[in-house]
Amino acid sequence: MSKPMKLGAVVITMGNRPAELRALLDSVAGQDGDRIEVVVVGNGAPVPDVPAGVRAVELPENLGIPGGRNVGIEAFGPSGADVDALLFLDDDGLLPLTDTAELCRQAFEADPGLGIISFRIADPDTGVTQRRHVPRLRASDPMRSSRVTTFLGGANAVRTKVFAEVGPLPGRFFYAHEETDLAWRALDAGWMIDYRADMVLNHPTTAPSRHAVYHRMVARNRVWLARRNLPAPLVPLYLGVWLLLTLLRKPSGPALKAWFGGFREGWSTPCGTRRPMKWRTVWRLTRLGRPPVI
């Protein structure tokens, strides 16, 4: 009999939520099946006290969300090779069910082409899943699992072979759209992504715009995402659609100013290595319900 998949977990923290972090780590320790090795990355901040057996890595500066997670990946060997898959969990989240890790193992073992699993995020008090936390256009039913084209950064599991094949998260993004960048590269390499409603991370309801850099980085990284990954004819189409959507949402004056500043920055600064996806991947994304123009 083959051994069960070996799982690890990466949690990044700014050190400012010690109680929530401890609750999350306890929920990981309480998962059914084999023990999950956990690495907590202090992203430019000291790591609060953690339970015995949890590894802590403290970075001298904040590398951003993808940069911090990349450090966590490498803590499990090159591209995370010491384990078969890694869970990425927000430090103020909580796994309310004890079978989530086992469900991950079963899903990966049953489907060798499955590279990434996106969990359902639910408010711990109301049980509500925000529409933006369902990674597909048809998001009205968060209880429906499906194949998708992206995933949620702080509530997912990634087969480490994906990192070995397509590389890490784009560290220069710092915040926003790093998941879609990895997802597009994984899909272009032939991997699949599933959204699983039965794999739940409890997380308080929040608005992404609570981050001061939100509007600037969302716009900048959207441009970088397109420049890095899309065939040349789709780059202006994709960005034109998002420009129109942004204007239709009628953001405040300061927010719109920050957005356009980020949009300009995305064009005027290096985006990293350009590897446009194959046209068959464009068609694959379209068949999955999200053509790469929106």
Predicted pLDDT at 91: 98
CB hemisphere CA count around 41 (13 angstroms): 27
Which ranges of the chain would DSSP assign to H, the alpha helix?
Answer: 18-29, 64-74, 100-110, 160-166, 178-188, 214-229, 234-248, 253-268, 279-287
| Paired tokens of 193 | 């992504």
Per-residue model confidence (pLDDT) at position 212: 58
Q: What pLDDT shows up at residue 209?
A: 56
Q: pLDDT tens digits, residue range 171-191?
A: 999 999 999 999 999 999 999
CB 54 within 8 A of CB 25: yes
SS3 198: strand
Tokens of 245: 């959507």
Strands in 114-122's sheet, in edge-to-edge order, are 55-58, 37-42, 7-13, 85-89, 155-159, 114-122, 192-202, 146-148
pTM of the full predicted structure?
A: 0.96
In whole angstroms, give the CA distance from residue 201 to residue 28.
11
For residue 211, what pLDDT is reported? 53
Number of neighbours of residue 51 by Cβ within 10 angstroms: 11
Place of tokens 């086992």: 102
- Is residue 206 scored above 90 in pLDDT? no
Number of Cβ atoms within 10 Å of the Cβ of 276: 17
- Whether residue 168 has pLDDT greater than 80: yes
**Is the model's pLDDT at 282 over the cut of 80?**
yes
Structure tokens that stand for 266 in this block: 């995305």
